[in-house]
Every structure is written in structure tokens, then in C-alpha cells.
Chains A and B, each alone.
Chain A
Amino acid sequence: MDHATPFARVFLLGLFAVIVGMVLWAQSGKRFFIRRIPGLSAIDEAVGRSAEMGRPMLASFGLGGLNAQEGVITLQALAIVSDVAEAAARFGNRVIVPVRIPALMPVAEEALREAYTRGGRPEAFQLDDLMFLSDRQFAYAAGVSGLINREKVASIFLFGTFFAEALIIAENGNRVGAVQVAGTPSTTQVPFFIAACDYVLIGDEFYAATAYLTRQPTLLGAIVGQDIGKAVLLFFILLGVVLTALNVPLVVNLFADQAVPWAEMLRPVAPAAGAGG
């Protein structure tokens, strides 16, 4: 969709209003409930294990950059990693954070410094543990695998965008016996994480992580807002199934890439160019 169709304008602005509305409601004192997410409950366990064993932890916020699609994922992953670092600071652990995108170095440095301060040990933050490895995907994977094996890390946290290197990193973690917690919106990599990690966040659990870990009203409100959006979309899906079965293409036309005039909402859908056969 190059530009918003009239329906998209109404629909998306409606979703926007619902999410912002829920955030404001939460900030005004409304308490929202969030269910237990086992993968996130395991973070403290993994940090504690690392402290007991006296070995470092490794946390990666993925291979995504700051571009339109990956930027949101990367910043969310960085937020989760800084919560992990805060827990590590409380336990007096060392966290190694390898970075792929150079532009993220200053952002990550500030976020980790703040996390160590929140954890009560600002002096424990070591700048050398935040390291740029390479912006080449497999050079990064090789670097992280090397760190896992040399440092014999006790726990590994993998959050953010991952590609084919996901299994390389996770299998190396499995080989050294590290407790591994992973969460990624890259759906193709989830099966690999499930095969090699101890706990995996699936789907939008990834976006719920910071709300779950910090219980901040703003974040909880946004989660509730997105759940209302999910219910609305589910309604349209069910309506679409019923109407399409009855040969009424209303919902298909409403969600079409190009604007369909309101008067023609019931016209049959044109096939895509080049399609057919």
C-alpha cells in the first residue's frame, strides 16, 4: 500500500487512538494484568545460575539495524537486554554484549550504563564487554560462537532480529551447556531456537517482554491496546470468512491495497496482473 486508502486511514487511526488511549489510562492509575510468560520468568534463574558458576553471560540484541522494519525490533530487543543487564548488575555478573550494527554502539552503551546504575553497580559496567564484532552476518556469528566457547558463558540471551546464523549461535551455546533464552519476531528462526534453546518467546510475547519485566503502566497499557486491536482484526477476519463464503467481497475490498470507491465495495475482486493460469 503506497498511500492509505480511506478505510485504512480510519482503521489505522482508530488502532492508534486505542493504543494511545490505553497508555494514557494506564498512566492515570489503571492497573492491567499480564499473564505469566515462562521464558521471561527464566531470566532471573539464568542470571542466578551464571552467578553461582562464576561465569559470564552473553546477551545479543540481534542482527537487525535501525531501518524501518528492523528498527522497532532492535530497540525493543535492546530494552530487554538492558533489563537482563540490570538483573546481572544486581547479581554482580559480567555481561558480554556483541554488536553487529555500528550505529547502535552509542545507544547500547548509554542503555547498558543506565541498566548497571539501576542495578546498583554502575562501576561494574565494562566498556570492553560491549563490542562491535562485524556487520557481516556470518563474521558476526563466528565471532559470537568464538566468545561463547572461549568464555564458557553460563547463560545466553538472544533477542531481536536473527537470520540463518541463529542456529550457529544457539548450537554453540548448547554445546557449552549454557542456559539459553531467546525471543525473535523472525518466524523462520523460531524452530531453530526451539530446537537449541531452553526457553523461547514466540510471536508477540517478544513485544510484551519489557512490560512483563518492568510492569511499567505505559508498557502494560500499550499491550492492552494491541490486544484490543487483535480482537478487532479477528472480528474482521471472521466477518471476511463468512461474507466471502457468501460471495460478498466487502471485507476483501475494504482491506485492498488500492482504494475501492465506497459505492463499489461489493464488486468482485480483480485478479492480480500476471496471475491466472
Chain B
Amino acid sequence: MFTPKTGPELWLYIAGALLVSGVLVTSLQLVPGRLRKPLIALVTFLAGLFYIAEFFLPVDPTTRANFLTDYRAPIAQVNQVLLSFAVGVGVYSLLTLHTKNIVRRRQGWGFSVLLLAAMFGILVTGLLKEYRPNPINQAAFSLFFDGGLKSLDAAMFSIVAFYIVSAAYRAFRARSVEATILLVSASLVMLGQVSLGQGLTAGLPTSGFLSNLRVENIREWILTRASTPALLAVELGLGLGALSTSIRLWLSLERGSYFEKDV
């Protein structure tokens, strides 16, 4: 519904947005302390009201839309822009903490040097790759992104497999009847999951009563008939919990939990 602007019109819009933002930020700074909380509560209420009204208001059967529906995409974009600004807060926190580590020669300060070097390295090469694309800049970015970040990400995820082994060795013990049931069902699911395990009962028929004893069918039964209903029950409670917490937040009934003691 909003068309992209180009040329002088674009610059006019940018200048206008900067002016409005400046006025808004200054006005917010001038708001007296006692009015800040009601103001936050009002903004929270209005922001939530958009999505609630858009969801609940009746729609035109042909367009399946109400008068708010077309604003969904622009509001999603506003949200993206707002969140992007928060990146600066993170960068500021990293810079202050690690610069202090280096200046005060705290234990492990060398790691802080490495962190800042990697952060600026990927930032600069990323910008160069985007705005001055040439093979050298692309290779430099690839060194950080493919050689560093992607490989380290994959290595960290693979560590989960090792931790599963030590956690399973320690935790899966038949200490009680419930723990034994859990142990047996987990073992059957694992066997039914892989081809070597499936091979153990491959001799049983694929149909008829005996097929129920094939390990992959036992796995299927445990997952879909035992685990799924339990999971759904937990999810139902979680959904209602989320709804109740959302209502408290939306109506600012939540404030007692943090920021101040009394509601």
C-alpha cells in the first residue's frame, strides 16, 4: 500500500522522518517521571490493540480483509526497523565490556582482543563485499563467514551429540518404575529410528498381528500414541499460560513482577 519513493521525494521523506523522530525523542525525554509508566502502558495497549482488532474484527467475505488488514505488511516493516536499532545497544555493550578487559589487563584479556578483532573484521569485510564487490573483498569476507563463523557454528552444534552421550549415560538409569518405563521406551524409539535397529526385527511380517512387534512400528506407536498426547497436554497448558501472560502484559497488569513491587 506504500510505494517506494525515489529521487528528491525520498530525501524529503528521510528529512521529515528524522525531524519527527527528533521531536518525538526530545518530547519523551521531557515527560515527567511519574507520567512515564502510564505512557508506556498506553503505547503497549495501542500496539497490542492493532493486532487484536485486526484479528477479531469481521472481514469482507470476498477480500477476506478488514480495514486494518492492509497495514500488516507496513507494520511488520516498522517492527524490523525498530529492532535493527537495538543492534547498536549490543555492540556498545560488547565494546565497553571488552575494552575494559583489555585496558585493565583482566584475566583472559587476550580473548577480548580476539573478539573485537573478529567483530570488526567481519563488519568491515561484510561492508566491502556488499558495496565494493571484487574477488579480494569476497574472499576476505568468505574467510570470516565460511571459514570462521559457519565452521564454528557447525562444530558447536556437533558437540551436542557428545553431551547427549554423557547425559544419557548418567541420567537414563532404572532407579524407579517410571524411570524404567522411560528407559525402555527411549531404547525402543532409538532402535526403531535407525536401519541397524530395524534390521533386528526385519524377519517379522510387514502386515498382520506380528507386524506390531516390528521395532519401527513400536517406535511409531510410542511417538504418536503415547508421546504426542502427553506433549499436546503440555502444549495446551503452555498456550493458556502464554495467553494469560499476554493479557497481563497488554493491559500492564504485569508491572508488579518487575520495575516495582506494588501493582
Direct contact of A and B (CB under 8 A): yes
A226 touching B59 by the CB < 8 A rule? Answer: no
Q: Which residues of chain B (192-246) have a CB below 8 Å from chain A?
A: 231, 233-238, 240-246
A133, closest chain B residue (CB): B94
CB contacts (< 8 Å) of A207 on chain B: these are 238, 241-242, 244-245
Q: How far is the CA of A44 from the CA of B251 in the complex (A)?
A: 31
Interface positions of A from 1 to 45, Cβ below 8 Å from B: 2-4, 9, 12-13, 15-16, 19-20, 23, 27
**Number of A-B contacts defined by CB within 8 Å:** 182
Residue A202 lies at the interface, judged by CB distance under 8 Å to chain B: yes
Residues on B with C-beta less than 8 A from A243 are none
Q: Does B159 contact A (CB under 8 A)?
A: yes
**Interface-facing stretch out of A49-57, A104-112, A262-270:** A104-112
Q: How far is the CA of A139 from the CA of B94 in the complex (A)?
A: 13
Beyond A128-B100, A167-B163, A195-B170, whether A208 also contacts B248 by CB under 8 A is no
**Contact (A206, B167) CB under 8 Å given A105-B89, A139-B152:** no
Interface of B is mostly: helix
A111 contacts which chain B residues (CB < 8 A)?
258-259
Q: CB within 8 Å of A: which of B127-171?
A: 149, 152-153, 156-157, 159-160, 163-164, 166-168, 170-171
Binding site for B on A (CB under 8 A): 2-4, 9, 12-13, 15-16, 19-20, 23, 27, 65-66, 72-73, 75-76, 78-79, 82-83, 99, 101-103, 105-106, 110-111, 114-115, 118, 128, 131-132, 135-139, 141-142, 150, 164-165, 167-168, 171, 174, 185, 187, 192, 194-196, 202-204, 206-208, 210, 214, 216-219, 222-223, 225-226, 229-230, 233
Query: Could you list some 12 contacts between A and B, CB below 8 A?
Result: A2-B64, A3-B56, A13-B56, A128-B97, A131-B97, A139-B152, A164-B160, A168-B160, A187-B235, A214-B257, A216-B256, A222-B245
Given A66-B83, A105-B90, 6 new contacts (CB under 8 A): A185-B241, A196-B171, A202-B234, A203-B234, A210-B257, A229-B244
